[in-house]
A = this chain, B = another copy of it.
Amino acid sequence: MKELKKYLLLIHGGVGTILKENMTSAKEEAYLEALERAVLAGEAILKASGTAVEAVEAAVMMMEDSPLFNAGKGSVFTHDGKNEMDASIMDGNTLNAGAVLEVRRIKNPISVARQVMENSTHVMLAGEGAEQFAKQQGHKPVDSSYFYNEARFQQLQLAKQSEEILLDHSGENKSMEGNMENGGRKLGTVGAVALDVHGNVAAATSTGGMTNKRFGRIGDTPIIGAGTYANNNTCAVSCTGHGEYFIRHVVAYDISALMEYKQLTLQQAADHVVHEKLKNLHGEGGLVAVDTKGNYIMSFNTPGMYRGIATARNKCKVEIYK
């Protein structure tokens, strides 16, 4: 029997209080199908000996194109009723990286992040400038109506109402911390990590931010080291969750550092960061990660995480609950 070339792809589509009792079977089915489409898009590339960078881009693009996830088309609304998106990508072979933040008219922010990595001398481009760069790279800006989604708009109205109540009580804007969905909190962001048949890893992450967010708030998604990191010597990581905690604890790079400097396994490193460090701080979230030996982990400290996996040996598998 011919030995299969080893490859691996993992994706996530956000974490939160995602409970079976709050889901309709139609909705559950729609999520599982969308996750499967994303896994298959990335896997097709790996199967054809494509690169990990290409595979994570393709998987994330598929989720950006779905209205179900908080990235690209499904991005949530800011307080002003706009959509502001962030994305980043990193190549574990070269340690090159690219990111865009606060883009508003880009259909696939992850593709522009990849172009920043490959076609510019920079790592991060922001706002209008990033959109100018995208245009130069051949992206046609989409109209803001592309991102309009009735359900997301209702979420904003709900968040604005609860904000008023919460502000009255505490002076704190709790509703900015998450998106109300399925009767619970969902911290949306999509991401993927991959190991390709050439032995290289890569990671990519994309988000539409927080419903009702103000003041140009940026989370961990576009931050290399926080939301995304990849290094052939250690691992590739894509995170989702309460971004402020992920930034302050440099989560994605911390997993790599624990492996490199403390000789922890990927599993031990991820468990320590997700189930000890972050959990002790009530930093809700999760991540997917792979290393070049073919180890992988899907770790989250919330009731659910939209996720999927494909390997050379096993059929694509997608899951939602714990």
Contacts from A to B (Cβ < 8 Å): 90, 95-97, 101-102, 120-130, 132-133, 172-173, 176-177, 214-219, 223-226, 229, 243-244, 247-250, 253-254, 257-258, 261-262
Q: How far is the CA of A225 from the CA of B126 in the complex (A)?
A: 19
Q: Is the pair B172, A126 in contact by a Cβ cutoff of 8 Å?
A: no
Q: How far is the CA of A35 from the CA of B248 in the complex (A)?
A: 29
Q: Is the pair A95, B249 in contact by a Cβ cutoff of 8 Å?
A: yes
Partner of A122, one of B123, B124, B217: B217
Which residues of the partner chain B approach A248 to less than 8 Å between Cβ atoms? 90, 95-97, 123, 224
Q: How far is the CA of A249 from the CA of B257 in the complex (A)?
A: 11
Q: Is the pair B215, A176 in contact by a Cβ cutoff of 8 Å?
A: no
Q: Closest CB-CB distance, A310 to chain B, in whole Å? A: 28
Q: Closest CB-CB distance, A42 to chain B, in whole Å? A: 23
Partner of A176, one of B121, B173, B258: B121
23 cross-chain CB contacts under 8 A: A96-B248, A102-B127, A120-B215, A121-B244, A123-B248, A124-B217, A124-B218, A124-B219, A125-B215, A125-B218, A126-B127, A126-B218, A127-B216, A129-B216, A129-B217, A223-B223, A223-B224, A224-B247, A225-B226, A250-B250, A250-B253, A253-B254, A258-B261
Asked whether A216 and B128 contact (CB < 8 A) given A226-B225, A258-B261, the answer is yes
Which residues of the partner chain B approach A129 to less than 8 Å between Cβ atoms? 214-217
Which residues of the partner chain B approach A132 to less than 8 Å between Cβ atoms? 214-215
Closest B residue to A103 using CB positions: B216
Q: Is the pair B216, A126 in contact by a Cβ cutoff of 8 Å?
A: yes
Partner of A215, one of B130, B172, B217, B223: B130
Q: How far is the CA of A229 from the CA of B248 in the complex (A)?
A: 9
Which residues of the partner chain B approach A224 to less than 8 Å between Cβ atoms? 223, 226, 247-248, 250
Q: How far is the CA of A257 from the CA of B125 in the complex (A)?
A: 27
Closest B residue to A95 using CB positions: B248
Q: How far is the CA of A139 from the CA of B50 in the complex (A)?
A: 51
Partner of A126, one of B102, B229, B249, B257: B102
Q: How far is the CA of A124 from the CA of B246 in the complex (A)?
A: 12
Q: Closest CB-CB distance, A13 to chain B, in whole Å? A: 23
Q: How far is the CA of A226 from the CA of B253 in the complex (A)?
A: 11
Q: How far is the CA of A95 from the CA of B95 in the complex (A)?
A: 27
Which residues of the partner chain B approach A126 to less than 8 Å between Cβ atoms? 101-102, 126-127, 216-218
Q: Closest CB-CB distance, A204 to chain B, in whole Å? A: 15
Q: Is the pair A217, B96 in contact by a Cβ cutoff of 8 Å?
A: no
Which residues of the partner chain B approach A257 to less than 8 Å between Cβ atoms? 253-254, 257, 261
Q: How far is the CA of A121 from the CA of B97 in the complex (A)?
A: 28
Candidate in A102, A121, A126, A253 with the most chain B CB atoms within 10 angstroms = A126
